[in-house]
Amino acid sequence: MTTAPTVMKREFTMFSALSVAFAFVSPIVALYSVLGLGLTTSGPAFIWGGMILYLGQFIVVLTLGVLASKWADSGGIYQWSRRLLGHRYGWFASWTYIWTLLITLPAVAYAGAVLIPPIFDVPAADHGVVTWLAVGILAFSTIVNLAGRVFIKILMVGVIVAEAVGSVGVAVWLLFFERHQGLDYLSPDSLGDYSGAFFSAPLVMAIAFSSYFAIGFESASSIAEEVRRPKKAVPRAMVVSFFAIMIIVLLSTLAFTLAVPSDAFLQDPENAADPAVAIMAATFPEPVFRGILALFVIAFAASLMTIQITVSRIVWATGRNGELPFARFLTKLSGATGLPRRAVIVTAVIAVLLFIPFQSEGIQMALISFSSVGFFISFLFPVLGMAIARFTGRWSDDPKLFLGRAGQIVSWLALVWLLFQIANVAWPRETGAGWASDWSTIIGVAAVGVLGVIVEAWVHRKRVHAATTGSTMVIVERDESDDDEDDDEAAPAAGAAAVLLEEPAGSDRS
């Protein structure tokens, strides 16, 4: 039996959890990743799709907030699903979320690396150079995660400054001094008349393409065991970060859309690919423009760091219950405060290997689309699990939980919204690049699902074999007694608040 720490120390506050959720997909990252696609496919009225998306996602935020106020475990989506419907259901939630995050890492790193060459006046770097730059950003993010929570907090301050200038500052400047269009430019009439498949309607497509605007808020739950008073702090952090991102993204989308000089501007393929960069390049003096791009890169690096935090915690939490290959290796914590450094390194290595597909043209948007639907499927696991648990009488709406008894209505609405949005994002729309590109999201989801069935079957056979032979697997059962402690003196003690249980591997503890 090891003497290494088994539970991470509580060194984060509500502000830390809020910062992690905010930086996960920062307004800069969200806007830059999909603005070009949204404007070219849905036109100026793209912003209406974003508004509808935020309305639907707010319901999801509230629903997950209820779960976060009941169970304050690291790896929130996995833990909530496991506690609702058991190990096997939780395992598939974890598997889906892990691969969604792993694929998001190279997608975000590559998008951020594209911004680096223009900072140094290198106009057109090839894919190989950008890929190596992306690997460098990911390496920096990994080093920060390995260094400790103090360095994470420092970078969080950096991303807030970057957002204040790069998002809010630029948006305000464009609205006041570079506005070329009136508000009538945003009229829903610009979507045009359409008759055809429902999921190919311009407004419905705008909702799908803006999906990247409203993910990441759930990452606050990934560090729940490291946050003081998590059952109150985490739900609040999720809601506050959601509204902060929503306000800044919609403000920036409005500013850049009204700053479009003319319809001909978006007909230029180079401008259409990166309209935000093209507008800033035409608006600001070159030194200012380069400085803004540098702030953008900081935001992307911070986003990478928080995605790594999230995926390493869910890998660690899943391994802690013996649910992954090499679970004992992945579960071991390092340092006096307990950091999952092994999980951080393993996930970073996998993300680097996933950079290989970036040598192909057009792969960036395919991976963003896959990661978007992956997030919605991951959200669906605990929301559907809550619906089933409620229907079978395994869940009761405690008035002490976040939202109280109002959580019942909200959770059913969230379920309907997620089913719609999964179908919307995954719908095989014509891209002009062939059937493989059109169906890439569904193919990717199917591949991850099939691989998941194979790996889970192996994990389950391991459980059954251990149960029939009388062997055991080590599970850490966390002591939840200090989750609601009000005083700060309880925080340091949380690092030791765990019990190692030798549990038959076939049991289904939930």
pLDDT at 358 over 70: no
Q: Are 339 and 146 in contact (CB under 8 A)?
A: yes
- Identify the pLDDT of residue 173: 92
Confidence of residue 43 (pLDDT cuts 50, 70, 90): confident
Reduced to 3 states (helix: H, G, I; strand: E, B; else coil), residue 262 is coil
- Identify the pLDDT of residue 285: 92
pLDDT at 376 over 50: yes
Q: Are 413 and 455 in contact (CB under 8 A)?
A: no
Confidence of residue 4 (pLDDT cuts 50, 70, 90): low
For residue range 70-81, what is the model confidence (pLDDT) as tens digits?
888 888 898 899
Q: How many domains does the chain have?
A: 1
What mean pLDDT is predicted for residues 219-247? 85
239 found inside a domain: yes
d(CA 199, CA 283): 36
Confidence of residue 388 (pLDDT cuts 50, 70, 90): very high
**Averaged pLDDT of the chain:** 80
What mean pLDDT is predicted for residues 311-316? 88
Q: Are 170 and 249 in contact (CB under 8 A)?
A: no
pLDDT at 107 over 60: yes
CATH of the domain at 287: 1.20.1740.10
Instruction: Give the distance from CA 241 to its chain's centroid.
Output: 13
Confidence of residue 111 (pLDDT cuts 50, 70, 90): confident
509 found inside a domain: no
Least confident of 231-245, 275-289, 290-304, 321-335: 321-335
5 found inside a domain: no
For residue range 448-489, what is the model confidence (pLDDT) as tens digits?
899 989 988 888 787 776 667 655 554 555 656 566 664 444
- Identify the pLDDT of residue 508: 44
Structural domain boundaries, residue 226:
14-426+435-504
- Identify the pLDDT of residue 6: 60
Confidence of residue 181 (pLDDT cuts 50, 70, 90): confident
- Identify the pLDDT of residue 383: 94
Q: Extract long-range pairs of 396-401: CB within 8 Å, 24+ residues apart.
A: 398/70, 401/66, 401/69, 401/70
For residue range 48-90, what is the model confidence (pLDDT) as tens digits?
989 999 999 999 999 998 898 888 888 889 889 988 998 889 9
Reduced to 3 states (helix: H, G, I; strand: E, B; else coil), residue 477 is strand
- Identify the pLDDT of residue 371: 81
Predicted TM-score of the model (pTM): 0.86
- Identify the pLDDT of residue 148: 73
pLDDT at 217 over 90: no
7 found inside a domain: no
Query: What percent of the chain is modeled with pLDDT above 90?
Result: 17
- Identify the pLDDT of residue 490: 43
Q: Which of 19-23, 26-30, 141-145, 457-461 has the highest mean predicted lDDT (pLDDT)?
A: 141-145
1 found inside a domain: no
- Identify the pLDDT of residue 492: 42
Question: What would the two tokens of residue 473 be?
Answer: 């697997």
For residue range 149-173, what is the model confidence (pLDDT) as tens digits?
777 777 777 777 777 777 888 999 9
- Identify the pLDDT of residue 510: 38
CB atoms within 10 A of CB 507: 15
R_g over Cα of the chain: 23
Residues in Cβ contact with 456 at an 8 Å cutoff, skipping those fewer than 6 apart:
88, 91, 92, 95
pLDDT at 341 over 70: yes
Confidence of residue 504 (pLDDT cuts 50, 70, 90): very low
6 found inside a domain: no
